[in-house]
Amino acid sequence: MEYRTERDSMGEVRVPADRYWGAQTQRSLQNFEIGTEKIPREVIRAFAVLKKAAAIANNRLGKLDEERLGYISQVCDEILEGKLEGHFPLAVWQTGSGTQSNMNVNEVIANRGNLLAGKKLLHPNDHVNMSQSSNDTFPTAMHIAAVLEVRERLLPELDRLTDRFRQLEKDNEGIVKSGRTHLQDATPIRFSQEISGWRGMLEKSRGMILASLSGLEELALGGTAVGTGLNAPKGFDQAAAAEVSAITGAEFRTAENKFHALTSKDAIVFAHGALKALAADLMKIANDVRWLASGPRCGLGEITIPENEPGSSIMPGKVNPTQCESVTMVAVQVMGNDSAIGFAASQGNFQLNVFMPVIIYNFLQSVSLLADSMRSFELHCVRGIRANRKKMDENLRRSLMLVTALAPYIGYDRAAVTAKKAYQEDISLKEACVALGFLDEETFDQVFHPEQMA
């Protein structure tokens, strides 16, 4: 491998000749050979957005000339287009402020820009990082990446799954089945009503996620090192936030209190809490589906789901609810990520949180996993759910909790005696009620209509 020599305030460093990063990136590579987790590409792209926005703001405020603005913007566009993917190699497990990743982006933009210009035009600190600090750029990149990934990746998959359940409701109108509480028989419910509960969970989760984005739309950019805005010109924060909005199409604004924006990660904790709520709902839905599909002969068997692959290496013909299992594993991971994010956000001291890389890594992983699992669940499971009407009706007729319909006529206590007799003697509710003398057969038939109980 060929190398070139780069310099920073600590001296000279050898850098691979085919890479645009500089000395500080190389030092981080050498000092943090930890794990396989890299700073997510979504964060790098968010950095490209904010670096371009900062350059435009600096230009409009008279601090950066047109030529340098042009090359910074050109390289940022290349990053956004995915053309420089191999130039951002740093680990999540680096400095807690994300300083080296900020400098990684600064160095790549400067070196690539100088190559395009054919001269030494850009300095990573003096020009690309103008009016900025790692302490305000990294939290800004976190918020940009979080908002864009939620809006562009998560919400479309959530909406697609919600729409599928809405269609499933319509397809199953009029089917009455036994309800269940505490894993025990309960009063009847329409299958469409049960599905509406699943749909409602997703709609409520969507509302909570959208509400949580407001805090993430506030940007720390302009706070510089400790929140005072040192070395940033007046109006830079507002101008930069406006440019971020223009580039992304989202509605970002500058944080009113930069001291809060640099040191607190409460907005991302709150937003991930909404993701955890979605994970909890998906866990519940997936568990319901696999319970209802259990069997095929010794379980509930009230629905069938697609048979996607063989389920056993020893039991021929066995098929398992693998999509449900995948969803529930994702939910567990998201809940674990929530604990890590919450604990990390409680750390740091004075004017800075120094757990930011692990926070955004876990947040973006949750978004990615939830989006992918919902897409897979909808495609390979939910769209293939079919009601087993025969089994539903059979279970409904055998449910002892249909006795609830008799309570207004014979009273709660007598209804309980009827249910117990029917269960103990393995006879129908009608046979038990008539044998006990609570109602005659004709009256029982007049008042007992399970399909109307839903």
Judge contact between 201 and 194, C-beta under 8 A: no
Residues 6+ apart with CB under 8 A from 413: none
Query: What's CA 386's distance to the chain center, in Å?
Result: 28
* Residue 297: CA count within 13 A, CB half-sphere: 1
Tell me if residue 184 falls in helix, strand or coil: strand
Mark whether 9 is an active-site residue: no
Q: In whole angstroms, what is the distance from residue 249 CA to residue 264 CA?
A: 26
Which amino acid is located at 55 in the chain?
A
Give the active site residue among 73, 97, 123, 182.
182
Tell me if residue 38 falls in helix, strand or coil: strand
- Adjacent-strand bridge partners of 352: 349
Q: In whole angstroms, what is the distance from residue 139 CA to residue 132 CA?
A: 12
Which amino acid is located at 228 in the chain?
T
Judge contact between 110 and 127, C-beta under 8 A: yes
Q: Which of 84, 76, 50 is nearest to 245 (CA)?
A: 50
Give the active site residue among 312, 339, 346, 449.
312
Mark whether 449 is an active-site residue: no
Query: What's CA 79's distance to the chain center, in Å?
Result: 24
CA angle 143, 147, 152 (to 5 degrees): 150
Q: Which of 381, 186, 184, 190 is nearest to 282 (CA)?
A: 381
Whole-angstrom CA distances from 382 to 164, 331, 332, 369, 418 are 7, 17, 20, 18, 39
Residues 6+ apart with CB under 8 A from 81: none
Active site residues: 182, 312
